[in-house]
Structure 1
Amino acid sequence: MNVDFLIVGQGVAGSALAWTLDQRGCSVVLADDPALPMASTVAAGIVNPLTGRKLVRTWKADELFPFLHTFYTQIEKDLGVRFFQAKNIYRPFRSLDEKTAYLAYVSDPEIQPYIEKLVDDEAYSPAIHNPFGGIEVTQGGWLDLTEFVRIVKGYFIKKNQYFEGRILPDDLTISDDKVEWQGLTIGKVIFCDGVQARENPLFDWLPYNPVKGQVLTAVVENYSIKNIVNQGVFILPVREGLLKIGATYTWHDLDWQTTADGREFLESKVQQILKVPYTVVAQQAGIRPSTKDRRPFVGLHPMHPSVGIFGGMGTKGVSLAPYLAEQFARHLLDGEDLEPEANISRCVSLLSRSE
């Protein structure tokens, strides 16, 4: 039996790529091992075009954000489901000095399209400490990652194109124009296995720089704010009475275990901005597949053109995956060039050094 693509790993990257290729008329088998930990099951799923203290515009924001809003809402429409909510992101000022600095940042014409002109600070003040007011970032949102992954999985199961289990590179018989696996002849195998790619002998030469992150889930009363609040930590209303609070960033102790330090850090931050009482009911930890140069890894293996990778999206997988999946599909099917900053060809000198 012939298959166009085997996608290995079903986080947000694998889900977006499998869906994109399927919609282009390709035969796609989507494979995932539920025993392996996955950053997408922990990540909050927030998309934010302006990040950091200085409201730095996300890489390729002008292309990514209109695309991702259309991508997720179109799948919702096609399948009659809900997993994406557009939300503004409210950033309360910490001081008058910060207010002055932020208002200077947002006067930049490149930033202005992402800033709400009128902000109702009073609507936030019953629950959020905002004596100096704040700004609202537009074009943000929240993807319920667990639900998105579940819906895409169900779609491929219905088509009898889903495999549950681990696929190792050694299980594949790779030649230049095809890959053989379990009786299938596959045009291309694309690994979308997140931080696990560091252990994949085909792609272990790529310069990953994984980041551990922790988030809290809390119950809260009298919290009517629908938007995301972000000031050092984010407060995401998942549904009425339930919040996600995050996130930590550490480059050491790279395991999937929660820590008391992580919880203490998040609680110390959130207590500075949240006025209403809350109770933490869960804590999760995950490892983000970040890269040394903070750009994704997309492309075909330089020596094995029937095998590729689609990953390395770090903290921004929900934002990056739809747009880059479309670009990768155009590369694979139409021969279009990949975005140079994402193309793994930029790292090819590391392959020769690793051999």
Structure 2
Amino acid sequence: MTADYLIVGQGIAGSVLAWTLHRRGKKVLLVNSPQRPSASLAAAGIFNPLTGKKLVRTWKADQLFPFLKTFYGEVEQELDAHFLHFTNIYRPYRSVEEQNTYLAQTADSSISQYIAETVDDHQYRPYVHNPYGGLEVTRSGWVDVPVFLNAIRAFFQQSNQYIEADFNYNELEIRAEGVLWREQSFHHLICCEGPHANQNPLFDWLPYNPVKGQLLDVTMNNYPVTNIVNQGVFIMPVESNRYRIGATYTWHDIDWQTTEDGKAFLEQKLQGLLKVPYQIVGQRVGIRPATKDRRPLIGIHPAFPAVGIFNGLGTKGVSLAPFFAGQFVDFLEGRKELDPEVNIERSFSLYYSGKNGE
């Protein structure tokens, strides 16, 4: 046996799952294609317990956020890397009506636990438009995804558990007790290919709904705000005088090309929020591996018990991956069942209807 698990894809999903398996004493081999563009490398990596215009608590926030804090903190310590950044998210009110609505919502303890009791609106006023004040979301922040991925890659490279290769499914032999790939044997194959999963012949029947997103990299010389500001777009401090602006959401023209339309949209939103000058120094694009029901796609193939998938984490990959990787490993090792909301069993009818239609 070459390894317990063969993991295809080293984005957020594959990296978190590989590390979780490693920490559980399992030997993994990571295979990652250098040719494919990476959604994870373009991701802002923000984790936010309260999202949307209506200030909705993120699904399973009470479980996800303590878990991610522990998970990423331990990886930082073990790999001597720094990629986890805790920062509040300041949300200026758009109107008096929105202010009243949000303040009424904070009476709910499930919401108020994620909101700062006091906010100094004056510290933001010279830099962003906030005539009605705003609120600050707590227990939020961002993961520097490229730094995290590089640290994980370096670890598995050092132990000869990482291969750069275009994974060809024609080279795969699936058996009842495991899989063979390039004369190497594994108990399980787990597919973590993000937005490229619809090209995977084993799982192309799943209900993917990819979302294209674009970001701007900007510099500003007179913007000392250290928190993320979010109203229509987010302004995220990355390093000295450098900031990330995002993001667009489009479900059409799903390709890896930046567009002038995307840039114009972000600039329009930014100019309505920001009071100080900025300079665009870069534009990036990613395709989020989202799903039609906005829930991850995790589980075992209906016909091949040795083959699984860990995908569909969408826009909240850095938040969802640690918790559900732990749950998936428990499931794979026979300890507990998967949450039915993420288990791909909910979509098995698509697989069987496709087979019957052949």
TM-score bracket, shorter-length normalisation: over 0.9
- Deviation at residue 198 of structure 1 after TM alignment: 0.5
- Deviation at residue 225 of structure 1 after TM alignment: 1.2
Code of the aligned partner of 1:177: E
Alignment of 1:144-223 (within 5 A): 144-223=144-223
CA–CA separation in structure 1 for the residues paired with 2:63 and 2:181? 37
- Deviation at residue 126 of structure 1 after TM alignment: 2.0
CA–CA separation in structure 1 for the residues paired with 2:20 and 2:169? 24
CA–CA separation in structure 2 for the residues paired with 1:228 and 1:171? 46
Superposed CA deviations along residues 58-113 of structure 1, whole A, max 9, x for unmatched, are: 11110001100111111111122101101111000112111111111222121111
Code of the aligned partner of 1:165: A
Match of 2:97 in 1: 97
Match of 1:334 in 2: 334
TM-score normalised to structure 1 length: 0.98
- Deviation at residue 334 of structure 1 after TM alignment: 3.4
Match of 2:303 in 1: 303
Match of 1:265 in 2: 265
CA–CA separation in structure 2 for the residues paired with 1:129 and 1:90? 12
CA–CA separation in structure 2 for the residues paired with 1:254 and 1:120? 41
Alignment of 1:1-16 (within 5 A): 1-16=1-16
Superposed CA deviations along residues 232-278 of structure 1, whole A, max 9, x for unmatched, are: 11110001100000000011001010111100000000111111100
- Deviation at residue 286 of structure 1 after TM alignment: 1.3
CA–CA separation in structure 2 for the residues paired with 1:273 and 1:136? 16
Q: Residue 258 of structure 1 contacts residue 283 of structure 1 at CA under 8 Å; is this kept in 2?
A: yes
CA–CA separation in structure 2 for the residues paired with 1:298 and 1:275? 44
CA–CA separation in structure 1 for the residues paired with 2:180 and 2:71? 32
- Deviation at residue 121 of structure 1 after TM alignment: 1.1
Alignment of 1:233-312 (within 5 A): 233-312=233-312
Match of 1:45 in 2: 45
Match of 2:26 in 1: 26
Give the secondary structure class of the aligned counterpart of 1:139. coil
CA–CA separation in structure 1 for the residues paired with 2:166 and 2:336? 31
- Deviation at residue 229 of structure 1 after TM alignment: 0.6
Give the secondary structure class of the aligned counterpart of 1:72. helix
Q: Which moved more, 1:328-337 or 1:284-293?
A: 328-337
Q: Residue 54 of structure 1 contacts residue 105 of structure 1 at CA under 8 Å; is this kept in 2?
A: no
Runs of 4+ in 1 over 6 A off after TM superposition: none
Give the secondary structure class of the aligned counterpart of 1:118. coil
TM-score normalised to structure 2 length: 0.98
Match of 2:84 in 1: 84
Q: Residue 11 of structure 1 contacts residue 193 of structure 1 at CA under 8 Å; is this kept in 2?
A: yes
Code of the aligned partner of 2:295: R
Alignment of 1:53-132 (within 5 A): 53-132=53-132
Superposed CA deviations along residues 125-168 of structure 1, whole A, max 9, x for unmatched, are: 22111121100011111100111000000000011100101112
Q: Residue 68 of structure 1 contacts residue 319 of structure 1 at CA under 8 Å; is this kept in 2?
A: yes
Q: Point out where structure 1 has 5 or more consecutive residues left out of the alignment.
A: none
- Deviation at residue 319 of structure 1 after TM alignment: 0.5
Q: Residue 297 of structure 1 contacts residue 344 of structure 1 at CA under 8 Å; is this kept in 2?
A: yes
Give the secondary structure class of the aligned counterpart of 1:132. coil
Give the secondary structure class of the aligned counterpart of 2:234. strand
CA–CA separation in structure 1 for the residues paired with 2:168 and 2:143? 29
CA–CA separation in structure 1 for the residues paired with 2:148 and 2:328? 20
CA–CA separation in structure 2 for the residues paired with 1:20 and 1:60? 20
Pairwise CA RMSD of aligned residues? 0.9
Match of 1:224 in 2: 224
CA–CA separation in structure 2 for the residues paired with 1:163 and 1:284? 26
Q: Point out where structure 2 has 5 or more consecutive residues left out of the alignment.
A: none
Give the secondary structure class of the aligned counterpart of 2:110. coil
- Deviation at residue 2 of structure 1 after TM alignment: 2.6
